Structure 1
Amino acid sequence: MPRPRSLTHAQLASAALAVIDRDGLAGLSMRAVAKELGMSTMALYRYVDDREELEQLVVELVHSTVDTRAPDPDAPWRERVETMVRRLRDAMSAHPAVVPLTLAHRHRTPSGLRWSETVLTVLTEAGIDGERRVVALRGLLSYVIGAIQLEHLGPLSGAGTRAITELPPSAYPLMTETARYAGNVGADREFFEGLAMVLRGMETAREA
């Protein structure tokens, strides 16, 4: 196959993201991306070193769609953090199969770093600093990444929840009861009520 005259990082990332969206993260390979671009696998190595570099480009592409500008400075700090989390969730939920890659590459992507810098600014202005700020940022990231994976990829969603309701109540009384309630809790409600619990915990730590 003829090699294109030139490829940008954005084009490479878009091709890799198309593969992931279609075939899942397991389908991502140098060969698959090369085929998506209409080129040979060896030709692709002229642009990137390996799959890890492709992954990093994909994470940056997804994160680049997040608005990292500071929210309304007159809004309460919890509301500003929620705004930043909402923006990140929207971008990541559009490509949920990419979410696991953020764990490995978020600290290497400029857009991800800008998001974290904005959140840290809000936390600092709220009086959360030092080691508490470390825990707060990592806690937020852990919640967002985990919640999105649970919503889109986790066994507790959809058929998984229904399967739990069919377990013997004598062996799993609380699991079966909770699964029945889960059918009444939508994804947005679950996410943002969970986030509110996390932020209330930060509020308590801030005031301690």
Structure 2
Amino acid sequence: MPRPRSLSTDQLAAAALTVVDRGGLSGLSMRTVAGELGMSTMGLYRYVADRDELERLVVDRVFDAVDAGPPAGGPWERQVEDLVERVRKAFAEHPAVVALTLVHRHRSRGALRWAEALLAVLGDAGFADRERLVALRALFSYLVGALQLEHLGPLAGAGTQRLAGLPPDEFPHTTANARYAQHVTADEEFTEGLRMLLRGLSPTAGRP
């Protein structure tokens, strides 16, 4: 199999992301990425050390599409919402990559740039050092969890229908919740959940 004379990081990341989009995380390997690039598996080792490095490249590739610039003015809550929605939009096109963000967020420059923008908004809003730390992690946890629920376990679908069909005398709240869930869109669930979280976050300096 012919081997390209040289490969850029962008080419490697694009090939790895294509593999993940097509076959999920279970399909990501040195062999499959090498095949996508039209080269031997051993040839790929000239550029990346292992699958772990491929995963980081994939996370970088998706986060590079996220605008990490300062959000438009307005209340800090609206600015945070803007930044979070940017990540959601980017990962909506590559849902299988969401699970990798928890492992590689500290090594992805794109993720770090986004976190830096979010920390700046929180700092300007009056969040102290510890508060910024907790708020950042809470928001990132919500974002990753909500994205996985949206793409791996959406409200509408067979799972929700099964819950709605449980014995109501044994699970009255679960069945009622499941019936209602069938009428809530993914956008509504995500945005309303984020706003609930933001209502619970406030800087000490801004409290009465």
Distance 1:174 1:19 in 2: 41
**Which residue number in structure 1 is paired with residue 192 of structure 2?**
193
CA shift at 1:157, angstroms?
4.8
* 8 Å contact kept, 1:151–1:157: no
SS in 2 for 1:67: coil
**Which consecutive unaligned segments of at least 5 residues does structure 1 have?**
none
TM-score by length of 2: 0.95
Residues 76-103 of structure 1: CA distance to partner in whole angstroms, max 9, x if unpaired?
Answer: 1111111101101100111010000000
Instruction: Give the aligned residue type for 2:159.
Output: G
* 8 Å contact kept, 2:164–2:176: yes
* 8 Å contact kept, 2:126–2:203: no
**Which residue number in structure 1 is paired with residue 159 of structure 2?**
160
Residues 14-64 of structure 1: CA distance to partner in whole angstroms, max 9, x if unpaired?
Answer: 111111111111111111111111111111111100000000000000000
Distance 1:155 1:80 in 2: 26
The alignment yields a C-alpha RMSD, in angstroms, of 1.4
SS in 2 for 1:107: coil
The count of corresponding residues between Structure 1 and Structure 2 is 207
Instruction: Give the aligned residue type for 1:12.
Output: L
- Which stretch of structure 1 is more off in the superposition, 160-169 or 63-72? 160-169
1:44 aligns with 2:44: yes
* 8 Å contact kept, 1:66–1:88: yes
Identity %: 58
Residues 85-142 of structure 1: CA distance to partner in whole angstroms, max 9, x if unpaired?
Answer: 1101100111010000000001111111010001000001111121111110000000
1:170 aligns with 2:187: no
SS in 2 for 1:108: coil
**Which consecutive unaligned segments of at least 5 residues does structure 2 have?**
none
Distance 2:119 2:93 in 1: 25
CA shift at 1:204, angstroms?
7.2
Distance 2:203 2:177 in 1: 27
State how 1:107-186 maps to structure 2 within 5 Å.
Answer: 107-154=106-153, 156-186=155-185
* 8 Å contact kept, 1:62–1:92: yes
Distance 2:67 2:117 in 1: 10
Instruction: Give the aligned residue type for 1:174.
Output: H
